[in-house]
Amino acid sequence: MDEFKVTPWDVEGLVDYNKLIEEFGTSPLTDELLEKTAQLTKSELPLYFRRRFFFSHRDYDKVLQDYESGKGFFLYTGRGPSGPMHIGHIIPFFATKWLQEKFKVNLYIQITDDEKFLFKDKLTFEDTRYWAYQNILDIIAVGFDPDRTFIFQDSEFTQIYEMAIPIAKKINFSMARAVFGFTEQSKIGMIFYPAIQAAPTFFEKKRCLIPAAIDQDPYWRLQRDFAESLGYYKTAALHSKFVPGLMGLEGKMSASKPETAVYLTDDPEEAGKKIWKYTLTGGQPTLKEQREKGGNPEKCVVFKWLEIFFEEDDKKLMERYHACKAGELTCGECKRYLIKKVQEFLIDHQKKRKEAEKQVEKFKYTGELAREQWERSIPEPLKG
Ligand code: TRP
């Protein structure tokens, strides 16, 4: 009954994630795969996996097999720099960091200043380059391994174009239109762009694993159509759900509605006020009713945020759930708890972000070194 929509540009309505698995033709992330992940990494799973924020995949089973057999794999993810990053943008990067740390693999991070310039009428190239730098600081602040992490910005790492050419020859307009809904009015740069986003899946001659929100899956579906014909692996993917904005569980946190998002650069004080003022809870209209009937954590953004990211402790989360249902908690109490958690996170993140200013060069995949690395990693079919 609930209508919802998920495309790389738009997420609307209350998303039914099981339906999405069917619609997109992906596979559910099973207990078995998660147990195998824990076993291979000899680690406890972080909450993003335990609580199924990552809920779907393509070929993740094969990635684990490749790891087990010693073939290895590599990670790829990205960010479209259209503005400041918020909490919803950064959570998949934390999950990616965990995977890199545990599997000790290379990670490539694509910053698509070209994409955002081409797709967003209002943004100039100067704007998207500015946001690229700002976003890179937030990404570095997550704490990736500098020896295994390569961040590149499309407009600087122009070698990406060479790798996109053979890909662009594999995709005809009607395929791209079917997947992305292009029209007669679409700019030709937009139509070429999917080749640029697919290129990093070929950076190493190993299976590529992409942890990202499920709205990016159309790109991977397309890549999987032609990858083998170019002598590569079909890319694997781990799909996350969306983080809701403060004002409701529908859609996703949106940069275009600043009062519904908490930005990584928000002043912690201000962020606290925003959460206090705007967050939708599952509470009853009066305290009396709240005490009698209990609240509704399923419909509460505060609870969602705790579940997705801000409450590490499973036991505490469950206690809060039951206490809310039993009418023992007020929404004010929960909001104050979340605010404290968010503020602690922001203070820590902003400190690391400041330190990241000195680390940018270390992480950048560009210039001579990039060229060398790239040539070494060009798989045979592309060399000739
Ligand atoms: N298209 C993505 C965005 O709009 C950016 C991106 C490029 C990306 N490559 C990626 C995201 C790989 C996830 C994984 O944000």
Residues with CB under 6 A from ligand 1: 77-80, 110, 112, 115, 197, 210, 212, 216
**Do residues 193 and 149 both lie within one domain?**
yes
**Do residues 62 and 208 both lie within one domain?**
yes
Ligand 1, pocket-test mutation among 91, 110, 203, most atoms within 8 A of CB:
110
Domain assignment present for 251? no
**Do residues 126 and 174 both lie within one domain?**
yes
pLDDT tens track, the chain, 384 positions: 458 999 998 899 999 999 999 999 999 999 999 999 999 999 999 999 999 999 999 999 999 999 999 999 999 999 999 999 999 999 999 999 999 999 999 999 999 999 999 999 999 999 999 999 999 999 999 999 999 999 999 999 988 999 999 999 999 999 999 999 999 999 999 999 999 999 999 999 899 999 999 999 999 999 999 999 999 999 999 999 999 999 999 988 887 777 889 999 999 999 999 999 999 999 999 999 999 999 999 999 999 999 999 999 999 999 999 999 999 999 999 999 999 999 999 999 999 999 999 999 999 986 455 556 556 655 565 554
pLDDT at 371: 58
> pTM of the predicted model, to two decimals?
0.95
Helices 125-141 and 87-103, packing angle to 10 deg: 50
Spacing, Cα 229 to ligand 1 middle (Å)? 23
What is the span of the domain harbouring residue 326? 258-356
H-helix segments, the chain: 17-24, 31-41, 47-50, 60-69, 87-103, 113-119, 125-141, 159-168, 173-180, 188-198, 217-226, 268-278, 287-293, 301-305, 314-325, 331-356, 360-363, 367-377, 380-383
**Do residues 108 and 215 both lie within one domain?**
yes
**Do residues 277 and 152 both lie within one domain?**
no
Ligand 1, pocket-test mutation among 75, 79, 220, most atoms within 8 A of CB:
79
Spacing, Cα 151 to ligand 1 middle (Å)? 13
**Do residues 69 and 175 both lie within one domain?**
yes
Ligand 1, pocket-test mutation among 216, 222, 365, most atoms within 8 A of CB:
216
CATH number at residue 76: 3.40.50.620
Rg (CA), the chain: 21
**Do residues 238 and 271 both lie within one domain?**
no
Give me the number of domains the chain comprises.
2
Q: Which atom of ligand 1 is nearest to the CA of 200?
A: 9
Predicted confidence (pLDDT) per residue in 227-279, tens digit: 999 999 999 999 999 999 999 999 888 877 778 899 999 999 999 999 999 99
* Distances from the Cα of 145 to the Cα of 9, 71, 150, angstroms: 30, 21, 9
